[in-house]
A and B are shown apart, each in its own frame.
Chain A
Amino acid sequence: MKFTFVFPLILSLLVPFSSFSESKGNQEAGNEVTFYSVFTPNIEIKKAPREHLTLRVYNSADYISEDPDIIEMFEEYVLEHDNVDLEVIYETFDTNETMLSRVETGSAQYDLLCPSDYMIQRMMRNGMLHPYAFGEEKTALYSHNSSLEDWPNSYEDYASPYLDDWFGKIEGILPDGSSAPLSEYAKGYMWGTLGFTYNPYYDAFEERGLTPDEVKVQINDWNVLLDDTYQGTFQIKDSMRDTYSVALMQSYDAELQVLRNAYLKGEWIDGSSYSEEQYSADVNTIFNNVTRVEEFNSLLQRIYGEEAETETVDTILEKAESSLRILFDNSYGLEVDSGKQDITVGRSGIGIAWSGDAVYSIELGEIEEDVSLYYAVPQTGGNIWFDGWVMQDYPGLNQEYAQKFVDFISRPDIASLNMDYIGYTPFIAGEDIMSLVRDWYDARSYAMYVYIDEGDYDNGYHDFLYDENGDKVFQNGSGVKEVDIDGEIYEADFGSIDMTGSSLEAPKVEGNLTTWEAYFEEQEWDVTLVDLSYFFEGTLTGDALVYSDELEEVTAENLLGEMETVIVGRGFYAQYPLMEMLPSLAVMEDYGENNASVLRIWEAVKSDSLEPWIIAVLVTEIVLIAGGVLAFYFIKRRSRHLRKTRKKERESEALSSKA
């Protein structure tokens, strides 16, 4: 039997569907008619008279301003100045690890990626990155428009010198074994610390007899999470490195205390002098002890003398693991990104948080839930981290626009838009950033200008009232009044004193010039003068002083039951750590070869949900099931046996009856 079968028939069936052809890495991707545009005819399909280029950007989720849309602004800027129709393909990832595995599996290649410090090191080691071009090399790269006026070196000009210094100090190892500073392969984007967001007024704390002040003091110790009183009140991060760094700080708390005391006294245990640089280096050694075991051992010998125990990677990890286990058992749960909201709605009282998320939580809590959240980096020190732009080394790399994008986003005005939108602190210093900081945190701004309470988080929390020229309106002492802005009515606070004519330098109270110190004293306004020159050095014309009214000095019992005084802070403190804290911060570098070992303990802790009752239940059930199956089997066999014997009996009966 023959049957005619035409293969092409099947193929032709498939043809109509091939119009969904892949557009991966495709330069014409922009002109595709998409499902969406079919439904929204107002999206015009651009004809491209100009050169069409693409730039693929891979960034953390929620890590760039969408209102105004920075990506769009950049595309328009390029169109205007370079006459290039640049399409930015912007994608986001949730963790550095996802990003790496995406890039490793080759699902896509990117011109710009924004990983964290350690991931930059790892990518350098894997030979995945392309170095930045500087100076003339960079100008040569700019084939479409190399005018310095249109494309100034914003990053070089405005990146905070303090952070730039950090970036130059971190070394990455290249595939050939040589090393290069991170600054050759990466340009900083955002930075911050890892600490605790906490709610000192959390119900569970009160139930357990903790006063808000006690919480504020005790939170300054990493061991707070190991303490029984705090059990079940905090969330930890479902992210290996962050939680590991907390465990590390806990395991070596005693050593870190020794270092801190020596630093505060200015002298080492043996009486020799102890500098800030030395302190910083020692903290760094403890932080990175998995990769620097030798240095770590010599530090231990300096602390404990000859009888110091020699540590190995295994002993370090063992200690961290036991700390992690307690953390895990004590915690309410793990979270990846939900913690920043959970704490505002009272799901937890403490969360391990990156500083930018802390700013988000603090604001969200203030506006939506009416809770006052705080941020703390414990005194023994903590993790300082940087996220930076890197370029992937691949044949189609669009280096020109990758670098142009970095310079664009490093313009202080753009950086301040980003900071305003996402709450993280940019790498960039400069006037624009300083004025945003003063708008947010400086008591002088709130003393002088009329501010409106929009009360809606989506539209920005508080803003000042501006006149037609775009200048802030001074308070005139007429109290709270309703104002009409673009047809919407807002409540604006015109204050109780006429401040017209005041400036950052000096206030003018009812027409009389005085000093800010005197003003705050008279008003009984508790402010602290904070100097941010470490960060803004060289990028401002004036000073970098901020009168902050959110820092509090609190005295209460600490975890050890002693009275202690600490300075606690909120959003400002999260965004710009106080100068005194800086030496105790360290970058946690890539674990290199030990990455698998750290992963193993992390996995072990995470997987350790096996409890005796589980085994008991499991074994009982298996025994019961097995018993049931066996019983069933035997019953069946017996009945079959019975049937057979009966059949035989019947047959023999029949035979005998026949006979």
Chain B
Amino acid sequence: MVRRVRTLEEKKTLAVRVGANFYIYLLLFLMYVPVLALVIFSFTGSVNFGTWSGFSFELYATLFQDEEIMRALGNTVILALLSSFCSVVLGTLGAVGVHEWKRRSKAVAESLTQIPVVTPEIVLALSLVIMFVFLGNYVYAGFGLSFWTLLIGHICLSLPFVYLSVKPKLLQMDPALYEAALDLGSTPRKALYQVTLPAILPGILSGFLLALTLSLDDFIVTSFTRGSGLLSGAQMIETISTLVQARIKKGPLPPQMRALTTLIFLFVLLVVIVVTILMTKKRKKSHHHIDRRNA
């Protein structure tokens, strides 16, 4: 047996591989430094971020007792789910509908969709508030900012992304399928549910997830368009973003936020790993099928 000697070429590729991986992990590490620091210091009770005062779960205990944070968290989640749901319904219907439009009117709809995508959040928020106030001043005096205006703001934020996620799936779909279903005696509604919907479902899901991230992370639109309602009752709606922003204006990050971030981080990490593993398995399976068929 001859000992395999690495050629110069192989050595080079190995070096590139190691270097590239090192670079990727370094970048990841730098990106995660603040988050990791939050995670580490969530296991100590000290008020000041950066001082270690012994291991404890104190912050987790106080996190769940902090009514204000819990309320803001509830608001954030409800708002995100609700606005994403509305966006998904509106956006999917929009994509399915516009797909059937003629070229010119389609172009108009597409550019209308582009506006909220490219407009900075602050302009979007300002324009919405101006309109709401305009409505209040000139159209209906009782109209003011409320939960509904906030919801509209968040839908504006995520709606085009749902549309844009669904659209490519529609383009990939074989148009003959739908027609075939109709020809085979299916009602249009049934055809829509049984043919179109499954085909675009991945797009809808991805749109929903996108809408969620956008809504969960939003600060500007929320702070402009919010009124009273949701869990805040008759008080101004606070979300995690607005609450934290108000607190960090006054001083360091509230310690309980470290615990909250850790929990969110772990949750998301778990979801990501599970989803990715499932997807890879599925992909491998389908590859396998193809391989067998080809053979």
B78 touches A24 (CB 8 A): no
Tell me if B169 is interfacial: C-beta within 8 Å of chain A. Answer: no
Tell me if B63 is interfacial: C-beta within 8 Å of chain A. Answer: no
The 0/1 profile, CB within 8 Å of B marked 1, for residues 1-22 of chain A is: 1111100001001100100101
B145 touches A105 (CB 8 A): yes
A397: min CB distance to chain B, Å:
16
A336 touches B250 (CB 8 A): yes
The 0/1 profile, CB within 8 Å of B marked 1, for residues 260-297 of chain A is: 00000000000000000000000000000000000000
Tell me if B94 is interfacial: C-beta within 8 Å of chain A. Answer: no
B234 touches A2 (CB 8 A): no
A106 touches B144 (CB 8 A): yes
B147 touches A22 (CB 8 A): yes
Tell me if A108 is interfacial: C-beta within 8 Å of chain B. Answer: yes
A3 touches B188 (CB 8 A): yes
Contacts A4-B188, A36-B74, A105-B129 given; does A13 touch B231 at CB 8 Å? no
A54 to B228, CA, bound (A): 15
Nearest neighbor of A54 in chain B, beta-carbon distance: B234
Choice from A10, A14, A91, A102 contacting B235 with Cβ under 8 Å? A91
A418 to B2, CA, bound (A): 88
A3 touches B189 (CB 8 A): yes
Contacts A22-B147, A106-B133, A106-B143 given; does A17 touch B82 at CB 8 Å? yes
Query: Given the complex, which residues of A lie within 8 Å of B86, measured CB to CB?
Result: 14
Tell me if A459 is interfacial: C-beta within 8 Å of chain B. Answer: no
Tell me if A107 is interfacial: C-beta within 8 Å of chain B. Answer: yes
A405: min CB distance to chain B, Å:
16
Choice from A29, A35, A107 contacting B227 with Cβ under 8 Å? A107
Tell me if B187 is interfacial: C-beta within 8 Å of chain A. Answer: yes
Tell me if B168 is interfacial: C-beta within 8 Å of chain A. Answer: no
Contacts A36-B70, A94-B246, A107-B144 given; does A20 touch B188 at CB 8 Å? no
Tell me if A609 is interfacial: C-beta within 8 Å of chain B. Answer: no
B249 touches A108 (CB 8 A): no
The 0/1 profile, CB within 8 Å of B marked 1, for residues 129-166 of chain A is: 00000000000000000000000000000000000000
Tell me if B219 is interfacial: C-beta within 8 Å of chain A. Answer: no
Contacts A1-B182, A4-B189, A338-B249 given; does A32 touch B144 at CB 8 Å? no
A5 touches B228 (CB 8 A): no
Tell me if B116 is interfacial: C-beta within 8 Å of chain A. Answer: no
Query: Given the complex, which residues of B lie within 8 Å of A13, measured CB to CB?
Result: 89
B79: min CB distance to chain A, Å:
10
B290: min CB distance to chain A, Å:
34
Tell me if A341 is interfacial: C-beta within 8 Å of chain B. Answer: yes
B188 touches A22 (CB 8 A): no
Number of A-B contacts (CB under 8 A): 110
Tell me if A541 is interfacial: C-beta within 8 Å of chain B. Answer: no
In the complex, how many residues of chain B place their beta carbon closer than 8 angstroms to a beta carbon of chain A? 42
B144 touches A108 (CB 8 A): yes
B145 touches A36 (CB 8 A): no
B59: min CB distance to chain A, Å:
16
Tell me if B120 is interfacial: C-beta within 8 Å of chain A. Answer: no
B267: min CB distance to chain A, Å:
18
B49: min CB distance to chain A, Å:
12
Choice from A25, A107, A341 contacting B251 with Cβ under 8 Å? A341
Query: Given the complex, which residues of B lie within 8 Å of A5, measured CB to CB?
Result: 188-189
Contacts A24-B228, A36-B71, A108-B227 given; does A91 touch B145 at CB 8 Å? no
A4 touches B187 (CB 8 A): yes
B101: min CB distance to chain A, Å:
15
A22 touches B148 (CB 8 A): yes
Query: Given the complex, which residues of A lie within 8 Å of B234, measured CB to CB?
Result: 23-26, 29, 54, 56, 89
Query: Given the complex, which residues of B lie within 8 Å of A338, measured CB to CB?
Result: 249-251
A91 to B251, CA, bound (A): 20
Tell me if A34 is interfacial: C-beta within 8 Å of chain B. Answer: yes
B155: min CB distance to chain A, Å:
12
Query: Given the complex, which residues of B lie within 8 Å of A94, measured CB to CB?
Result: 246, 249
Query: Given the complex, which residues of B lie within 8 Å of A39, measured CB to CB?
Result: 70
Chain B residues touching A, majority SS: helix
B211: min CB distance to chain A, Å:
15
A56 to B182, CA, bound (A): 59
A449 to B209, CA, bound (A): 65
A17 to B84, CA, bound (A): 13
A5 to B190, CA, bound (A): 11
Tell me if B9 is interfacial: C-beta within 8 Å of chain A. Answer: no
Contacts A3-B188, A4-B188, A24-B227 given; does A108 touch B236 at CB 8 Å? yes
A108 to B187, CA, bound (A): 49
The 0/1 profile, CB within 8 Å of A marked 1, for residues 228-245 of chain B is: 111101111000000000
A91 touches B144 (CB 8 A): no
Query: Given the complex, which residues of A lie within 8 Å of B251, measured CB to CB?
Result: 337-338, 341-342
A107 touches B228 (CB 8 A): yes
A580 to B251, CA, bound (A): 35
A342 to B231, CA, bound (A): 33
A5 to B100, CA, bound (A): 15
Tell me if B206 is interfacial: C-beta within 8 Å of chain A. Answer: no
A35 to B192, CA, bound (A): 37
Interface residue ranges of B128-147 to A (CB < 8 Å): 129, 132-133, 136, 143-147
Choice from B67, B129, B236, B250 contacting A91 with Cβ under 8 Å? B236
B230 touches A107 (CB 8 A): no
A36 touches B187 (CB 8 A): no
Query: Given the complex, which residues of B lie within 8 Å of A104, measured CB to CB?
Result: 133
Tell me if B226 is interfacial: C-beta within 8 Å of chain A. Answer: yes
A325 to B230, CA, bound (A): 44
The 0/1 profile, CB within 8 Å of B marked 1, for residues 439-476 of chain A is: 00000000000000000000000000000000000000
A338 to B188, CA, bound (A): 62
Interface residue ranges of B271-287 to A (CB < 8 Å): none
A107 to B229, CA, bound (A): 11
Nearest neighbor of B135 in chain A, beta-carbon distance: A106
Interface residue ranges of A336-358 to B (CB < 8 Å): 336-338, 341-342
Interface residue ranges of A461-498 to B (CB < 8 Å): none
Query: Given the complex, which residues of A lie within 8 Å of B71, measured CB to CB?
Result: 34-36
B136 touches A106 (CB 8 A): yes
Contacts A89-B234, A105-B132 given; does A22 touch B229 at CB 8 Å? yes
Query: Given the complex, which residues of A lie within 8 Å of B78, measured CB to CB?
Result: 20, 35
B233 touches A105 (CB 8 A): no
A39 to B67, CA, bound (A): 11
A17 to B82, CA, bound (A): 8
Interface residue ranges of B55-87 to A (CB < 8 Å): 67, 70-71, 74, 78, 82, 85-86
A338 to B249, CA, bound (A): 6
Nearest neighbor of A104 in chain B, beta-carbon distance: B133
A36 touches B67 (CB 8 A): yes
For B86, B129, B249, the residue with the greatest tally of chain A CB atoms inside 10 Å of its CB is: B249
Query: Given the complex, which residues of B lie within 8 Å of A4, measured CB to CB?
Result: 187-189
Interface residue ranges of A372-391 to B (CB < 8 Å): none
Query: Given the complex, which residues of B lie within 8 Å of A91, measured CB to CB?
Result: 235-236
Query: Given the complex, which residues of B lie within 8 Å of A20, measured CB to CB?
Result: 78, 82, 147, 229-230
A90 to B228, CA, bound (A): 12
A107 touches B188 (CB 8 A): no
A5 to B143, CA, bound (A): 32
Nearest neighbor of A40 in chain B, beta-carbon distance: B67
B74 touches A2 (CB 8 A): no
List A residues at the B interface (Cβ < 8 Å). Answer: 1-5, 10, 13-14, 17, 20, 22-26, 29-30, 32, 34-36, 39, 54, 56, 61, 89-91, 94, 102, 104-108, 336-338, 341-342
What are the 5 A-B residue pairs with the smallest beta carbon separation, nearest first?
Answer: A3-B188, A107-B145, A106-B144, A35-B74, A337-B250
Query: Can you report 9 residue pairs joining A to B where beta carbons are below 8 Å apart?
Result: A22-B229, A24-B228, A29-B234, A35-B78, A39-B70, A91-B235, A106-B133, A338-B249, A338-B250
Q: A23-B234, A24-B227 are in contact. List 11 more A-B contacts (CB 8 A).
A: A4-B189, A14-B86, A17-B82, A35-B231, A89-B233, A105-B129, A105-B133, A106-B133, A108-B227, A337-B251, A341-B251
